[in-house]
Chain A
Amino acid sequence: MLTCDPQSTLTREQLLWLYDRMTLIRAFEERLKWLVETGVPAGPVHLYVGEEAVAVGVCAAMEPTDWIASTHRGHGHCIAKGVDVRRMMAELFGKATGTNRGKGGSMHITDVRVGMLGVNPIVGMGVTHAVGAALSAKVRHSSQVAAAFFGDGAANAGAVHEAMNLAAIWRLPVIFVCENNGYADATPVEYAVAGKAIADRAAAYGMPGAQADGQDVLAVRAAADLVIRRARAGQGPSLLECKTYRYYGHHQGDNPLRYRLPEEEHVARSRDCITMFRDQVLRERWLTAADLDAIDDRNQTLLDEAVRYAEASPLPSPAELYSNVYVEEHA
Chain B
Amino acid sequence: MTTAQVAERELTFSQAVNEAIRQEMRRDPTVIILGEDIAGAAGRAHLGLIDAWGGPLRATRGLITEFGPERVLDTPVSEMGFVGAAVGAAMTGLRPIVEIMFVDLIGCCYDQLLNQAAKMHYMMGGQIQMPLVIRIPYGTRGGRLSYGGGAAAQHSQTLYAVLAHIPGLKVVVPSTAYNAKGLTIAAIRENGPVVVMEHKFLGTAAKGHVPEEPYTLPIGRAEVVRRGQDVTLCGIGRMTHLCLDAADRLAANDIRAEVVDVLTLAPLDEATILESVAKTRRLVVVDEDTPTASVARDIAARMADQAFDWLDAPIKTVTAPDTPVPFAAVLEAEYTPQIEHVLKTVSALFG
Instruction: Tell me the A residues contacting B by CB distance below 8 Å.
Output: 67, 69, 98-104, 108, 110-113, 117-118, 120, 122, 125, 127-140, 146, 158-159, 161-163, 165-166, 169-170, 323-331
**CB-CB nearest 9 A-B residue pairs:** A132-B88, A128-B84, A162-B81, A129-B88, A327-B192, A101-B125, A100-B125, A162-B78, A132-B85
What residues of B have a CB within 8 angstroms of the CB of A102 in the complex? 125
Q: Which of A100, A118, A132 has the most CB of B within 10 A?
A: A132
Contact of B73 among A104, A128, A170 (CB under 8 A): A170
Also in contact, A103 and B123, with CB within 8 A (given A326-B192, A327-B192)? yes
Q: Which of B110-118, B176-184, B291-299 contacts A (4 or more CB under 8 A)?
A: B110-118
Query: In the bound complex, do residue A132 and residue B90 qualify as a contact, i.e. CB atoms below 8 Å apart?
Result: yes
Residues 249-276 of B contacting A (Cβ, < 8 Å)? 267
**Nearest CB in chain A: distance from B76 CB, A:** 6
Closest to A117 in B: B91
Query: In the bound complex, do residue A131 and residue B123 qualify as a contact, i.e. CB atoms below 8 Å apart?
Result: no
Inter-chain CA distance A120–B197, complex, in Å, is 28
Also in contact, A324 and B125, with CB within 8 A (given A125-B115, A125-B116, A330-B190)? yes
Q: Which of A129, A131, A161 has the most CB of B within 10 A?
A: A129
Residues 74-101 of B contacting A (Cβ, < 8 Å)? 75-76, 78, 80-96
- Per the CB 8 Å criterion, the residue count for chain B at the interface is 51
What residues of A have a CB within 8 angstroms of the CB of B89 in the complex? 132-133, 135-136, 139
Query: In the bound complex, do residue A135 and residue B124 qualify as a contact, i.e. CB atoms below 8 Å apart?
Result: no
What residues of B have a CB within 8 angstroms of the CB of A325 in the complex? 122, 167-168
Inter-chain CA distance A103–B121, complex, in Å, is 10
What residues of A have a CB within 8 angstroms of the CB of B131 in the complex? 327, 331
Query: In this assembly, does B209 line the interface, its C-beta being within 8 Å of a C-beta of chain A?
Result: no
Query: In this assembly, does B71 line the interface, its C-beta being within 8 Å of a C-beta of chain A?
Result: yes
Also in contact, A122 and B116, with CB within 8 A (given A136-B94, A162-B82, A166-B75)? yes
Contact of B191 among A133, A134, A159, A331 (CB under 8 A): A331
Query: In the bound complex, do residue A136 and residue B93 qualify as a contact, i.e. CB atoms below 8 Å apart?
Result: yes
Also in contact, A136 and B112, with CB within 8 A (given A129-B87, A158-B80)? no
Also in contact, A159 and B190, with CB within 8 A (given A110-B124, A122-B116, A136-B94)? no
Residues 155-192 of B contacting A (Cβ, < 8 Å)? 167-168, 170, 188-192
Also in contact, A139 and B80, with CB within 8 A (given A117-B88, A125-B111, A324-B122)? no
Interface of B is mostly: mixed
Inter-chain CA distance A112–B122, complex, in Å, is 14
Closest to B91 in A: A117
Closest to A102 in B: B125
Inter-chain CA distance A35–B293, complex, in Å, is 43
Query: In the bound complex, do residue B84 and residue A132 qualify as a contact, i.e. CB atoms below 8 Å apart?
Result: yes
Also in contact, A111 and B168, with CB within 8 A (given A117-B92, A132-B86, A162-B80)? no
Inter-chain CA distance A67–B126, complex, in Å, is 18
Query: In this assembly, does B151 line the interface, its C-beta being within 8 Å of a C-beta of chain A?
Result: no
30 residue pairs A–B, Cβ–Cβ below 8 Å: A99-B125, A100-B125, A102-B125, A110-B125, A117-B92, A122-B116, A125-B115, A128-B80, A128-B83, A128-B87, A129-B85, A131-B81, A131-B85, A132-B84, A132-B87, A132-B91, A135-B88, A135-B89, A136-B92, A139-B70, A139-B94, A140-B93, A159-B81, A162-B76, A166-B81, A323-B126, A324-B125, A325-B122, A327-B121, A331-B190
Inter-chain CA distance A108–B111, complex, in Å, is 15
Query: In the bound complex, do residue A129 and residue B91 qualify as a contact, i.e. CB atoms below 8 Å apart?
Result: yes
**Nearest CB in chain A: distance from B7 CB, A:** 29
What residues of B have a CB within 8 angstroms of the CB of A108 in the complex? 123-124
